[in-house]
Chain A
């Protein structure tokens, strides 16, 4: 580490000599730099006031960063500050592009900021430069035991590195805790609490450089996601399903030696200070159906709170994350469609945030996949920063041609990238019905096939004996069913006759009774007529040999029953006409009645026997 610093020092001395006279039209009259080290990312905020002391107008400002920082530069934003600490929104950020000015050595990366209006002679402008670096904090020592605290080393220059001369400048380094192991002491260095102040330094020429190192305690979670795949699937049935697969490791000092659960349980904040237990994801409001799982199943250690502004999901990995330990998991949640999908100019567009919902997680590679419904057309994406864009197809439930998927890739993503982006597409609402219709028709055809199968005769040999027998048996069965039907009707007629007799005993209406009997007579005659062809068929059929005697017996019994009933009827009616007493009538009928009961019983039994066949 020290060697590198030494090299850099040499390099910058070289610059000094070479480049001092170049680009000196501008002067930075006042500069405040704040370096925030309170997380694993390094956030620097530089407010600078630029004055044009040259002759011509200037419309661009150069911002150099040393290469070793520039390669870890995740986010850079320049805004015009108006008054003290008042910063315009993201929309006010100035366009930045990477340039490579001639006659500059390769150890610097240059960013060119275009000013909104040209800076005339003597004019000045105040700018805020916000930069976020990842991975530039080095754990030192690199390996610690479970009980050790994590120490980090941060190195930078005490002077602002600039191609312009700086009149007055200060540097403030903010630490997470007021515990500093060591720091480079220069003139005008102050430590107050968790802040180290360098400066003010006055009238420094361009490319001034003085290295400083701060060695400090930081037990903040060093959660770095090697890869995060966010899949955002739009369903026009009213849901946006977000699935995020994380591949996280602890990028701080590696743990060495034993991991003792006993120590960890007894004093988790001492014997495990460098580990992190949980992560908090800030999900949009009204997130529902939240899950948290990994390759081997559900993880039961998570909590969910929600209010109207946000939903908080606290997840705990299966084990405490010590330095160098890895884990992977997936969280998923559904969001209401109307909160994220809008329409404009005949197009629909999805407006959703780009980055990861967890603060303090650095993502080395972020892949955002937007799965649009099947049949979407004219897809375009607008993202506020440069990303890699690919297209894929995904097959989900009942897809025929697949859903178009927009894949956006970006490396080195920090929470500052958590900005909204838009995906525009065209989609016909009628296409929604396509999949349910497919299901319905699928079931429909299934049932139709079943019906066809039930009705179709798939016998190969139509003349085989067993087939013929089966056919005949079917016929016999239908015949017997008809026969039973008729018999049942006979029985109901018998019941009617009995009922008419009861009516007679109650009302004494002989005529009605006689009429009822006439009707019954004719009905029975008709029924016996119907019965005849059936019986002859059963007699002729060889399949009905077993059942025929029973059938015939039943017919005989029914006949007898009929006769007896008629006899009883006429007797009773006779008695009535002769105005005989009830007791005598009963006596006369008694013998017939007994027979009827018996016959009925027998008929019922026969019925059951036939039924069982």
Chain B
């Protein structure tokens, strides 16, 4: 059967029609090849764009997830108010009462890019909405990335590899996950900038041209303006240069490329306010500077060697100079660190180098799901066959080692390591994996087709001569040298195409099923297979926007901060820009305290509404109860009164009858399950059955004293509570105070309540509050 198929395949290849086609192609090869290449690139460009539009077609043209809402809000501000207003924007709607200096605490690349696109389109007299521009920015840049991947592949290997790389990266799920339409996040632009910078740098190293180095510096500038991941570039490039120096590949080209890129890139990067002088002051950027000085030493030594012409003397000199240089560098670094001029590495950097670091030291980083170590399944999910092709590509790279291939090997290996540390960094590894796999695919297919074509030609030229014995003998002799070569080649070729087609199918499936849901609108299949939409988030945010006072402050866990400000247009206490750990810990503490203690905290923070996300009715599992342990941990990290074991029973986290008493009475539990005990969620289950956790809740009789239900969405996913004003409470206080007839305590309590500014007073506040909560049931009746 196989033999028959092979035969038919060779027939096809040797048939006169095909051969004449080959010949006719050969006539104007250059133009025709160019035409085919441009057509393929254009198709890939379009493909990369349209494959990211699933979510627009399924749902609507909307912004996804959490961070993009902030970016969208900022972009709106930028297009409405102009650049200078944007730069000086102090946002009082977030981090109440601290506020946030937006211009100085963000990477403006994405917003400025979107605004520029918007203004250009407006200038061309197309009246589009800024939302459309924001939604389509990521797919647009993904398309551009395919072009860069093509040129990069061409630079690394050949045009074939470039084309394959463009196709692979256009549909690679690892990249699509962050660049579907609506995913208006820094990464969407940054991956383009990253790959562009790398490509331009490799081009600069290959040519030694100042122009390319300059372009690379500008690429780096764009990357710095777009994403904090630029730290990867500023460390990878020195590492690469270092490796070249060690392997004796130092050249003038490298010298020109690195010096120009580094110096100019550094100066340009300092123009971004959020980055500022970090390039000369932060430990994370010191490697680049060290390598820069090392290059100068290398150049100097080269010059000395050239002019000295005495190996022995030169060796002595070399030893002295290297010792001096290393010593000086170490002293400078030591002095800089000790004097505080050079800041030490940040926690995020440490957590990259040591995956367990964040879990022990910075719970707020560890609490983010995309900062978890990557599981094998997600590698397979995001890379599919690329995971297998990656080592093969590395083999080809090592086989044809050059400056460029060394770069891609290093990029691939380091980014693969980081991808293993954090799920979200799969994104950074994706271009490298695609490029290396493209080299593997291109080289393999090229080898195989050469074999097949050589055979085809031989048989063709032989068959042209009719059935002469000589032909048979010549053919036989060739075949004998490599038995089954042609068959094997064809089989392998078919196998390769099969794999690639599986890859394409997998990518489409993943994109449509996993990465194209906007997470703000949840969809499920109903009982009859119809699609049910849970639009509860927007219901709640829009309710906030319309039916609360414009200056209302909303407290929620930080995940929803950006969405509340962007969609609800209300001030929040904490949001996704987790710059102030203490503030977040305060909110975490309020959520994990008893209601009266929490009330004091909320009063001190001026909170009017509390928003919790609850999935018990719908079975939506990423709700606040499931995140609650992180609130406890983060709160406990700053305020030692909150202790994680209080919320656990034998180290187990439960919400049913066996749950810890503190758990059953803390604010988060109360707000999530308020009046839930009266609701029957599932047929055949007792009322108060939590579908997200599959248990019957432990505390069904929840009374709220200081809060009242203000709004609950139709599927109970978002619940909003109003914090009651304190007027009747102070009366009660006075009553209690009179009853215990301790005027001194009353006075100090009143004082504490009036100005709860310093922490000691706050403590007093909490302390008294607790005492009262124990006493209150009896006294309330008296009053």
Contacts and interface: CB of A to CB of B under 8 A. Distances in A.
Partners in one complex: yes
A319 B461 contact: no
A260 B712 contact: yes
B712 A261 contact: yes
Contact of B546 (A259, A326, A594): A326
B541 interface: yes
Category for how many chain B residues contact A? 35 or more
A397 interface: yes
Interface string B50-71: 0000000001101000000000
Q: Nearest 8 CB-CB pairs, A to B?
A: A261-B712, A298-B60, A326-B546, A318-B539, A296-B567, A258-B709, A297-B62, A398-B125
Given A297-B62, A298-B62, A398-B125, A601 B461 contact: yes
Contacts of A294: 542
A319 B711 CA distance: 9
A296 B542 contact: yes
A597 B27 contact: no
Contacts of B678: 262
B125 A400 contact: yes
Interface in B452-489: 457-458, 461-462, 464-466, 468, 470-471, 474
Nearest to A261: B712
A376 B278 CA distance: 59
Contacts, number: 102
Interface in A525-581: none
Interface of A: 257-262, 265, 293-301, 318-319, 324-328, 395-400, 477, 481, 484-485, 488, 495, 498, 502, 586, 590, 593-594, 597, 600-601, 604, 611
B462 A597 contact: yes
A249 to B, nearest CB: 9
A297 B538 contact: yes
A474 B468 CA distance: 44
Given A296-B567, A319-B713, A597-B471, 6 more contacts: A259-B711, A262-B678, A299-B535, A318-B543, A398-B125, A488-B23
B30 interface: yes
Contacts of B474: 594, 597
A326 B547 CA distance: 6
A541 B59 CA distance: 64
Nearest to A296: B567
Contact of A498 (B464, B543, B712, B713): B464
A396 B679 CA distance: 52
Contacts of A396: 127
Interface string B21-46: 00100110110000000000000000
A36 to B, nearest CB: 31
B539 A319 contact: yes
Contacts of B127: 395-397
Contacts of A495: 464
B781 to A, nearest CB: 23
Contact of B470 (A318, A326, A590): A590
B126 A485 contact: no
6 contacts: A296-B541, A297-B538, A298-B59, A319-B713, A399-B125, A488-B23
Given A260-B675, A397-B127, A597 B461 contact: yes
A400 B125 CA distance: 8
A299 to B, nearest CB: 8
Nearest to B715: A261
A259 B709 contact: yes
Contact of B709 (A260, A477, A484, A488): A260
A61 B547 CA distance: 48
B679 to A, nearest CB: 6
B542 A604 contact: no
B57 to A, nearest CB: 13
Nearest to B542: A318
A318 B535 contact: yes
Contacts of A258: 708-710
B714 interface: yes
Contacts of A319: 539, 542-543, 711, 713-714
A593 B465 contact: yes
Given A318-B539, A327-B546, A601 B709 contact: no
A260 B712 CA distance: 7
Contacts of A257: 708
B322 interface: no
B468 A586 contact: yes
Nearest to B122: A395
A328 B713 CA distance: 17
A325 B542 CA distance: 11
B716 interface: yes
B66 to A, nearest CB: 14
Contact of A597 (B465, B547, B709): B465
Contacts of A295: 545
Contact of A485 (B27, B466, B546): B27
A85 to B, nearest CB: 44
Interface string B621-659: 000000000000000000000000000000000000000
Contacts of B547: 324-326
B533 interface: yes
B533 A300 contact: yes
A262 B678 CA distance: 8
Contact of A398 (B126, B535, B567): B126
Contacts of B521: 300
A385 B757 CA distance: 62
A327 B542 contact: yes
A488 B710 contact: no
A423 to B, nearest CB: 22
Interface in B678-718: 678-679, 708-714, 716
A261 B714 contact: yes
Nearest to A259: B711
Contacts of A318: 535, 538-539, 542-543
Nearest to B537: A296
A319 B679 CA distance: 20
Nearest to A326: B546
Contacts of A477: 30
B18 to A, nearest CB: 16
B764 to A, nearest CB: 32
Contacts of B708: 257-258
Interface string B96-130: 00000000000000000000000000000111000
Contact of A502 (B30, B466, B538, B542): B466
